[in-house]
Structure 1
Amino acid sequence: MKAPHILVVDDEPDVEALISQSFRRKVRKGELFLLFAQDGQQALDVLDDHPDVDIVLSDINMPRMDGLTLLERLNEREDDLRTVMVSAYGDMSNIRTAMNRGAFDFITKPIEFDDLEATIEKTMDHLVMLRKLHAAKDDAEHAHKMLARYFSPNVVETLSQDPNAMLSGERREATFLFTDLENFTPLVEALPPETVVQILNQYLDGLTETIFGYGGTVMKIIGDAVQATFGAPVASEDHAINAVQCALALDDFSQSFQVRMHDKGIPLGQTRIGVNSGTAIIGNFGGQRFFDYTAYGDAVNIAARLEQANKIVGTRICVSENVVEQIPEFNGRPIGTLQLKGKSQTVRTFEPFSPERAKSAAIEAYRGAFNLLEAENEKAKQAFATLVGTFDEDPLAMFHLGRLLSGENGVVIASK
């Protein structure tokens, strides 16, 4: 505990000498620091120069500004101190007034220095406890603000009750989502810096707010790319469906944002999204000094690969079979089976839609053509040619038709 700093406020000339003499040993050892003022106004001036004062020991009856007025003025300030009033024995009316106005304690004149020492010790114990509570509250508020940068509000509320829940690593089943903004780097080189900052901040605000809206955790933002997780740090049985619904909402936002930018003459690219479910080790991997709550594992790497696969097949959202299997009423269509570079495993992939679009004639026709392609039926080429010619431009249908025209068949797609 730090040595108490006490401001004694009294107009009697012998008080300073008596108190200094009584506490001389503690003052000499640095165990106590004493300051003096002769009235309330001078006390306020001293406090302005010495904000480290812990206790104000004030007489009540003084010229210029009395102790009760000083007490009122102290209540108006934000000083972290306590006031102990000194009054003549039997002056209960002023003592009651002082206590009602916020004095912590009182002692009577003539001052018994053993009583004064005990009162100082009691007051300092109270201040130490109070400061610890304030520090804990400040730490909690700081932690809450830090958590709010990464987690959705409901997750923040849960973690605020147990901040250590996310610090230790654990193997967790979750769904991982990656986004990337197409051709943003050339745009950075072409636009003024202030425009780039404004665009990117608006874009990332939209993405993170959307992710938070579906209970996701933003793990990383690198440039224009975002990595998010659903189902950690707070477990959720609906992590897969939440991630897919979020991906669709992200697509809606990014499409509308792109239109707004195009209207301003800024050729913003498409946002590509990859989603995969699986097991990963999740925790803080930033050491003691840096908070880096993230996930490691093959399931995370596959989600990143699926985001990149959109460039090959022409889609904006690509989700794995691991995700689809957890959604009883998945709305979407098959993309194909990706052969991931450097891996022996293949991943069946799908493109999610809203329920309305999933039931449209164009998507039903695509499913029919895809079934022929999967069966390596020679009619697949004609089916996709009809599909491309009948409906609005469909990059995925055009991709499969291009494969068929180049002599490929089946649904296995080599990932670059």
Structure 2
Amino acid sequence: MTEDASGATVLVVDDQPPNIRLLDAILTSRGYEVVAAESGEEALKVISDSSVDLVLLDIRMPGIDGYEVCRRIREQDHTAYLPVVMVTASGDEEKVKALEVGADDFLTKPVNRNELLARVASLTRIKRYQDTIERQAQELSAWNRELTSRVDAQVDQLERMSRLRRFLSPQLAELVVDSGDETFLESHRREIVVVFCDLRGFTKFAEASEPEEVMGVLGEYHQALGDLIFRFEGTLERFAGDGLMVFFNDPVRCEDGPLRAIRMALAMRTRIRGLAEVWARQGHDLAMGIGIAQGYATLGKIGFEGRFDYAAIGSVTNLASRLCDAADPWQILVTERVLSAAGSLVVGEDAGARDLRGFSRTVRSYSIKGVDNSRTPS
């Protein structure tokens, strides 16, 4: 078998069986697989039902002649480029008409063996190239569909990540996106530890400063605190000017919520004190106050399509805010419940009972001095 013949199937169409047998004998001896049809109708059915690499098509046949068969082959998308060699007993007029209806080549009867093999080999080789191109196009199309699907999935993941990173630390947002579970966004009740902080003297500063200067200070302030919120894996509820609220133990539970909240508050105070020294040299008298409370809240997604936030609703958030309001500059005030739950590592002192707006009972408060890691954890 020659290289050109490997795997090629040739459909021989002729209403004369002796002509079919002659072409069959020549082609099969060179390794081609030959399929026969004795009419134009039968040829079209064979082409429709099976895979053919080339058609040797007689022109003069009863019923549908070779011209019409070739024309119908060219009209179908899946056979538009199927090689067709017309076999004619006449002269130039039939050859021209054969080319006009879409034939790729022609042979004159009686068929010359070497000419037949040369034309069949050439056209089956072209057919193989066409098949390769078509297969590659299909593979490319499949790859493009897969790539589009992957890009869509990645865009969706990035959108989800962007949405979650508004209030979650990057590591927690990544955990939620990887798991595909956003059920935590549904409304639920849980005990949380809330940290509320703001800047002392900010209102006076904002009234006396240009908006660009105020935005610059806020940018530095938010950048400094945002990094710590992510580091301690707190959930950011909102930025509101100089006010900021973070909570722990939701959506991911943490057993050390009170201690973690205090550690974060201490780190915040240290970092903002450094910024305050820079602000002071610029003529801005700013300090920080922090309040921390623990209690139950209802948490979940709020907002509307295209703009959702994750919020905590309950008196515990108001309590943390009121403690923040009551704190002196650079003071961290916590409730007795927070101090007790944080354990013996925390160093705090009684800051007295306070009447806080919105609360009918006085609230015992404690001022946090630091964390003594040398103490034995309770």
- Helix, strand or coil for the counterpart of 2:307? coil
Equivalence for 2:202: 184
Specify which of 116, 128, 143 is matched with residue 108 of structure 1.
128
Aligned pairs, number: 260
* Residue identity opposite 1:328 in structure 2: G
Query: 1:325, 1:176 → 2: CA distance?
Result: 15
Alignment of 1:24-63 (within 5 A): none
| Contact preservation (8 Å) 1:165, 1:233 | no
Cross-structure match for 2:342: 327
Residue number in structure 2 paired with 1:209: 227
**Of 344, 352, 372, the match for 2:368:** 352
Matched with 1:199 is: 217
Q: Percent identity?
A: 27
Could you say which residue in structure 1 is the equivalent of 2:106? none
Secondary structure (helix, strand or coil) at the match of 1:300 reads helix
1:276-306: CA deviation from partner (whole Å, max 9, x where unpaired):
1111111111133321111001111111111
With the length of structure 2 as denominator, give the TM-score of the two structures: 0.61
Greater Rg over alpha carbons, structure? 2
What runs of 5+ residues in structure 1 fail to find an aligned partner? 1-16, 25-86, 92-106, 360-416
Check if 1:291 corresponds to 2:308.
Answer: yes
CA distance in 2, matches of 1:351, 1:357: 18
Taking structure 1 as reference, are residues 163 and 20 closer, same or farther at Cα in structure 2, changes over 3 Å only? farther
Cα shift readout 1:11-58 (whole Å, capped 9, x = no counterpart): xxxxxx99995459xxxxxxxxxxxxxxxxxxxxxxxxxxxxxxxxxx
Distance in 1 of aligned mates of 2:73 and 2:148: 27
> Is the Cα contact below 8 Å between 1:88 and 1:110 reproduced in 2?
no
Distance 1:310 1:166 in 2: 33
> Which amino acid counterpart does residue 262 of structure 2 have in structure 1?
V
* CA contact 1:143–1:160 (8 Å) conserved in 2: yes
1:174-196 Cα distance to aligned partner (Å, 9 max, x none): 11011111221232232233222
* Offset at residue 109 of structure 1 (A): 5.1
Deviation at residue 339 of structure 1 after TM alignment: 2.8
Give the superposition deviation at 1:315. Answer: 6.2
Query: 1:159 touches 1:165 (CA, 8 Å); kept in 2?
Result: no
Relative distance call for 1:338 and 1:160 in structure 2 (3 A) is: same
Deviations along 1:76-95, one digit per CA (max 9) or x if unpaired, are xxxxxxxxxxx97548xxxx
Task: Name the CA shift for 1:188/1:315 in 2 (closer, same or farther; >3 Å).
Answer: closer
- What CA distance in whole angstroms lies between the structure 2 residues aligned with 1:315 and 1:122? 65
CA distance in 2, matches of 1:186, 1:132: 54
2:165 to 148, 161, 173: 148
Q: Is 1:231 aligned to residue 249 of structure 2?
A: yes
Helix, strand or coil at the partner of 2:295: strand
Distance 1:18 1:197 in 2: 74
1:270 and 1:316 in contact (8 A); partners too: no
Amino acid at match of 2:128: T
Which residue, 266, 279, 282 being the options, matches 2:284?
A: 266
Secondary structure at 2:291 match in 1: strand
In the other structure, the counterpart of 1:336 is: 352
TM-score (structure 1 length as normaliser): 0.56
1:304 paired residue among 321, 325, 328: 321
The amino acid of 1:291's aligned partner reads: F
Contact 1:177 1:303 in 2 (8 A): yes
Return the match for 1:316 from 331, 346, 353: 331
Please give the secondary structure, in 1, of the residue aligned with 2:303.
Answer: coil
Gaps of 5+ in 2: 1-70, 79-121
- Report if the CA contact (8 A) 2:187-2:300 is conserved: yes
